[in-house]
Amino acid sequence: MTSSSLSATSSLSAVAGGTGRRDFRYGSALVALHWLMLLLMIAVYASIELRVLYAKGTEPREFMKALHFMFGLAVLCMVALRLVARWASPQPSTLDHIHPSWVQLASTVGHLALYALMIGMPILGWLTLSAAGKPIPFFGLELPALMAPDKALSKSFKELHETLGELGYWLIGLHAIAALGHHYLLKDGVLRRMRLMR
């Protein structure tokens, strides 16, 4: 870290944490869940994208799809934990004293969209399988269908799920670029708010 970023972040910590006000950093549980979620999202995307390595109807392809469903449902469980962690731990200080209001707004909208992705996509996937009348596997269990079979609706859910899934790449990509931009260009210490080690 450069001396300018060090001084920026330490002065921020002093502003936020040193006075007994809210911490500059996210709570440890939220930080751990954030990075676990990144790993899980990589697994969700990799399992569905890599299914094309196998021919349609073959066992390995069906296995890749089952992995996608299970990892996707694990996202839903983990986001529930994350919301509890968010609610139970104090929120870190806002950064409105160093960023213009449009940056704060863009960041809030981006974070809300990421939560919508983590909640909406698994539910939409679950609805797709339910409406198709297919089983919903979850690590040795079979989850109940969310609705009665309806082929036409299943097709619409699947199309929407695939389109939003593509959008998810952009959303996560922009989020990661913004985080790295804050770190390397603005040198405002935002990445440190999510650092695993104190």
Minimum Å gap between C-beta 4 and ligand HEM is 18
Select 98 or 114, whichever has its Cβ closest to ligand HEM. 114
**Helix, strand, coil share of the chain (percent; to 5):** 75, 5, 25
Select 18 or 173, whichever has its Cβ closest to ligand HEM. 173
Select 16 or 122, whichever has its Cβ closest to ligand HEM. 122
Cα gap 27→194, rounded to integer Å: 9
Residues 6+ apart with CB under 8 A from 99: 107, 188
Select 4 or 158, whichever has its Cβ closest to ligand HEM. 158
Residue nearest to ligand HEM (CB): 125
Cα gap 127→129, rounded to integer Å: 6
Residues that bind ligand HEM (CB under 6 A): 30, 34, 37-38, 41, 44, 48, 65, 68-69, 72-73, 75, 86, 107, 111, 114-115, 117-118, 121-122, 125-126, 128-129, 136, 158, 161-162, 165, 168, 172, 175-176, 179, 190-191, 193-194
Minimum Å gap between C-beta 129 and ligand HEM is 5
Minimum Å gap between C-beta 161 and ligand HEM is 5
Select 81 or 114, whichever has its Cβ closest to ligand HEM. 114
Q: Residue 152: is it exposed, middle or buried by C-beta count within 10 angstroms (0-12/13-18/19+)?
A: exposed
Residue 189 DSSP SS3? coil
Bridging pattern class, strands 141-143 and 136-138? antiparallel
